[in-house]
Amino acid sequence: MSPVLHDDESRPAFADGLSIEARSVWAKHDRDTDGWLPLWRHMADSGMVAGFLWDRWLPLQVKRTIAECLPAGLDDARRLAVWLATTHDIGKASPAFACQVESLADAMRAVGLDMPPLKQFVDRKLGPHGLAGQALMQEWLVERHGWSRPNTLQVGIIVGGHHGVPPTASDVKTLVDHPDLVRTPGCEDLWRKVQWELLDRCADVCEVGDELAGWRNVRLSQPAQALLTGLVIVADWIASNPDLFPYFPDAEHSHDEDRAESAWRGLDLPELWQPSEPTGSPAEVFASRFSLPAGSRLRPVQERAMQSARSMSAPGLMVIEAPMGEGKTEAALAVAEIFAARSGAGGCLVALPTMATGNAMFPRMLDWLKCVPDLRPQPGRRSVLLAHSKAALNDDYAALVRAGSRDVRGVDTDGGSGEWRPAADQSAAPAELVAHQWLRGRKKGMLSSFVVGTIDQLLFMGLKSRHLALRHLALAGKVVVIDEAHAYDTYMNSYLDRVLSWLGSYRVPVVVLSATLPAARRRELAEAYAGDACAETDLVAVAQALGYPLITTVEPDGRIAPEPVAASGRAIHVHMERLRDDLTVLGERLTQELAGGGCVLVVRNTVDRVLETAAFLRGLFGNENVSVAHARFVDIDRADKDSDLLRRFGPPEKSRQHRPTGRHIVVASSVAEQSLDIDFDLLVSDLCPVDLLLQRIGRLHRHVRGNDQSHRPEKLRTARCLVTGADWDTLPPKPVRGSTLIYRDHALLRSAAVLELFLSGTGPHGHTVRLPEDISPMVQDAYGNGTVGPSQWQDAMAKAAAAQELHEARQEEAAQYFQIREAGRAGRPLLGWVDAGVGDADDTRRGRAQVRDTRETLEVLVVQGRADGVWTTLPGLSEKRGGLELPTDAVPQPRLGRIVAGCGLRLPYQFSIPQVLDRAIEELERNYVPAWQSKDSYWLAGELILVLDENCRTRLAGYDLRYTSTDGLEVTRAE
């Protein structure tokens, strides 16, 4: 099949019959070699690539969105996509562009296409070739094909936006006011003749001449416009690669199709995943896809999720609410497989709250993918991506990167000159799963078929940013799984709701997971996805739905069905008790509880409290019996901490030989709340929002250890949670200051009010919280509008509620500033779609702050400086990585560079204060190492270096810093 035409061997080459003037127009130039590419050739290349992309790479789910508003459906959609890719650079046939290379401009002048010299063309930047192309396309459609001018804009904007930013109305007016940018005065007719000749040839080659009349009254949806823009960008980037599409004069006589076929083989993109719907029973499907522990049974929520997915008239939104440890992730992947087969999706994105949760999920997705069949007779490779800023440090992902690396110079990261690394051993990972070389970088990476990433990668879809259409193209072809949906604040939820509205307009299937989702939030998710299609009565029913576990389905036509699901039978009764916030009291209580041994988890809301508590408890129980876990470790140590927690406190079948036989206390921050399958005999927790407390309780007696927990110490066979971190003697209780700064008073007081019945023992079950029965009622009471707590608390709680309402209103307002609008009516062009945006959406601390209501903080790479001036890697790093000497007069070897990059550390909140931040940056820049900024320094270029002395101490911006692999970073104000 021809990539442009459907099976027409007699079609002439693109350039056949073109005038000498049209042949003289150039599109690409290489200053180093003086090679060049005429515009007609780049047009032909781009159209060919678009045909390959459509036929071999683009998911059916995307094609349907483009096709739904066209008379001949998918056939028309393919023609339109290829034609737009072929014509996208027509704006280069303009003097504002052509004057840039004097030798090529002279060749055009020689055939009559006059233009001013570059230095005299002072206004030329007002007419970038994308904008000029939009204007030419619109004018040509009006003059040649009788379109109304308003209708041309929905097509023209795709040409205008192919460099990542659709023009604004102001841009269009500026070009109208400067016609000399498009045609040189005095030879306007010749310029017009050439422009129309090229556009006419594009229409002939793409076989759209007859269709254009029928498309005059078509109203392209905004989602279709965004997807076509994204597809044109991808086609342009591939066709602009000189290694794949060589420049003239070397390639002057190459045949159109031979050239394109050769380039496509050279690019070697993994082809489209074509999922087949699993046909067995839920139990059979789960057994074939997941490595389940021996003797385990399918949970009711897992079985019902698959049944619900199969019974929906079309894939839509599914919200799965179920207790911690119920296998929601496996349920979501099974549903995603069904949804993908039915919708025509070509991949899956799993979005999680943090990099740590993403790293934990990535190998689980890889294991699932190895078991998922494909409709293709000979399934090939599948492209995968771990999407966060430190993915290169993940060993699983690094192996796939090596498997997907090829030595193609021009296959860059983002369609421009780029950071690329040599090919390596391809035997390091299974050949069928690769991180393909071309599908990397912050703009193209999401085009991979299977992605695990932080929630930011999804929220960027709602952010006004350059090349936003690429992210929409990437996500519109996938099933999206959103884990830990309760973990986001008003600011992030505003972005998530906007993203869900676009996903709904693309008919992208979405699965949302949570153990502790407020009912009001459940309604917001359904309403955002379904938009105007859902009835108010159905939304009310969603908000009022009782039962837990609960599965809520939202179909594309707006039908909504919340359905309670039977519990699995896994139940735990937890005795709740308040504990005075005093370290001496804590020490005495733990001495009592651990008289017969046992493993305790103490969760503090701040790292400072973690370190203070650990230091005190070590004095009582010994250093070897107390360990800490928090986010203030360098990446290598943080990963080792997580691995050690899983090794010692994970499921019985994995931790039996390593679990402490005596007594051990882990003092942790909120990192212990999510995605770590760890199990303790006793829990002590600071007061926190009730949904987070329930997540923490999910680490208490998480697994059965012996009959009736007989393998646990006798005193700890009853699950107990001691709640501290507040002054319980005041009315209402007063949380410690650090907790208030993080969670705010309203959430903490509502949580304390809901817990009061259990802590005081005055509830119907005394001090006992029954899981899972009490999870949903506790969450709904805490996040609802009803009165909770004793009457004496109400005045303080009302003030906290008013302050919270104001805070959330400010968050919502701030979130709107850089947020794209909801999809507008069909036919409305994406004019100014990302106007006044943020530029590029970066997965950096600053970039993530665009979709999170957080202050910018500093990330540093931590090394040690010896007294003799030599720098080394940090002492104590595992696997013989510590204490290695680092060259400062040359680029470190890749292994050394990777170790240093693995010592990344985010400095704490003290360094987010503007004046402290500025001072810290100034001081850190004194550690600038020129050799490390080389383009060959993949791991270290552009990073700030924090140098510790021989005692692993330093002073920064008025604070004393100390780092140990045992406790991480300690920060105190310098005296």
Q: Work out the mean pLDDT of the chain and round it to a whole number.
A: 90
Element (H, E) at 860: strand 859-865
pLDDT tens digits for range 244-286:
999 988 777 677 788 999 999 999 888 888 888 998 999 999 9
- Per-residue b/e over 74-101, b at no fewer than 16 CB within 10 Å? eebbbbbbbbbbbbbbbbbbbbbbbbeb
Inside any domain, residue 98 = yes
Strand-pair category, 479-482 with 663-668: unpaired
pLDDT of residue 837: 81
Inside any domain, residue 427 = no
pLDDT tens digits for range 756-794:
999 999 988 999 999 999 999 999 999 999 999 999 999
- Asked whether residue 529 falls in the same domain as residue 609, the answer is no
- Asked whether residue 796 falls in the same domain as residue 894, the answer is no
The C-alpha atoms of residue 440 and residue 435 are separated, in whole angstroms, by 8
Of 534, 564, 594, which residue sits at a domain end?
Answer: 564
Which CATH number fits the domain that encloses residue 306?
A: 3.40.50.300
User: Residue type for 538, please?
Assistant: D
pLDDT of residue 7: 39
Inside any domain, residue 954 = yes
pLDDT of residue 407: 40
Inside any domain, residue 550 = yes
pLDDT of residue 377: 58
pLDDT of residue 691: 94
Inside any domain, residue 935 = yes
To which residue do tokens 């020689």 refer? 110
964 three-class SS = strand
For residue 421, pLDDT beyond 50: no
Q: Is the CB of residue 515 less than 8 Å from the CB of residue 324?
A: yes
pLDDT of residue 334: 97
Element (H, E) at 136: helix 129-145
User: Residue type for 210, please?
Assistant: D
Taking the alpha carbons of 841, 846, 850, 852 in that order, is the dihedral positive or negative? positive
Identify which of 829, 828, 906, 796 has the alpha carbon closest to the alpha carbon of residue 862: 906
- Asked whether residue 611 falls in the same domain as residue 653, the answer is yes
pLDDT of residue 404: 66
Identify which of 6, 69, 447, 460 has the alpha carbon closest to the alpha carbon of residue 233: 447
pLDDT tens digits for range 473-530:
999 999 999 999 988 889 999 999 999 999 999 999 999 999 999 999 999 999 999 9
The C-alpha atoms of residue 544 and residue 520 are separated, in whole angstroms, by 9
pLDDT of residue 295: 64
pLDDT of residue 1: 37
- Asked whether residue 288 falls in the same domain as residue 383, the answer is yes
CA 799 to chain centre: 37
pLDDT of residue 432: 60
480 three-class SS = strand
> What predicted TM-score, i.e. pTM, was given to this entire model?
0.91
pLDDT tens digits for range 815-824:
888 999 999 8
Confidence of residue 676 (pLDDT cuts 50, 70, 90): confident
The C-alpha atoms of residue 821 and residue 813 are separated, in whole angstroms, by 14
pLDDT of residue 843: 57
More confident site: 219 or 11: 219
- Asked whether residue 941 falls in the same domain as residue 899, the answer is yes
Confidence of residue 534 (pLDDT cuts 50, 70, 90): confident
| Domain count within the chain | 4
Which residues neighbour 536 within 8 Å (Cβ) at sequence distance 6 or greater? none
Identify which of 696, 660, 475 has the alpha carbon closest to the alpha carbon of residue 576: 696
pLDDT of residue 430: 30
Inside any domain, residue 778 = no
Q: Which of 36-45, 51-60, 431-440, 963-972 has the lowest mean pLDDT?
A: 431-440
To which residue do tokens 């696997």 refer? 879
Q: How many CB atoms lie within 10 A of CB 964?
A: 15
- Asked whether residue 291 falls in the same domain as residue 219, the answer is no
- Asked whether residue 588 falls in the same domain as residue 629, the answer is yes
Q: Which domain holds residue 873?
A: 855-973
pLDDT tens digits for range 708-732:
899 999 999 999 999 999 999 999 9
605, with CB counted inside 10 A (0-12, 13-18, 19+), is buried
Which CATH number fits the domain that encloses residue 212?
A: 1.10.3210.30
pLDDT tens digits for range 913-926:
999 999 999 999 99
pLDDT tens digits for range 56-87:
999 999 999 999 999 999 999 999 999 999 99
pLDDT of residue 319: 98
- Asked whether residue 288 falls in the same domain as residue 236, the answer is no
- Asked whether residue 334 falls in the same domain as residue 459, the answer is yes
Inside any domain, residue 272 = no
The C-alpha atoms of residue 479 and residue 458 are separated, in whole angstroms, by 12
pLDDT of residue 378: 58
Inside any domain, residue 269 = no
pLDDT of residue 145: 95
Residue 262, phi then psi, degrees to nearest 5: -65, -45
pLDDT of residue 275: 87
Identify which of 578, 603, 767 has the alpha carbon closest to the alpha carbon of residue 700: 603
Element (H, E) at 386: strand 382-387
Percent of the chain with pLDDT over 90: 76
Identify which of 200, 228, 211, 205 has the alpha carbon closest to the alpha carbon of residue 70: 211
For residue 410, pLDDT beyond 90: no
Element (H, E) at 602: strand 598-603
- Asked whether residue 537 falls in the same domain as residue 592, the answer is no
947 three-class SS = strand
∠ CA 837-839-845, nearest 5°, is 105
For residue 8, pLDDT beyond 50: no
- Asked whether residue 243 falls in the same domain as residue 301, the answer is no
pLDDT of residue 847: 60
For residue 846, pLDDT beyond 80: no
For residue 431, pLDDT beyond 60: no
Of 542, 564, 586, which residue sits at a domain end?
Answer: 564
Q: What is the mean pLDDT of residues 840-845?
A: 64
Q: Quote the tokens at residue 349.
A: 């994105």
- Asked whether residue 146 falls in the same domain as residue 207, the answer is yes
Strand blocks (E) in 399-446: 433-434
pLDDT tens digits for range 580-636:
999 999 999 999 999 999 999 999 999 999 999 999 999 999 999 999 999 999 999
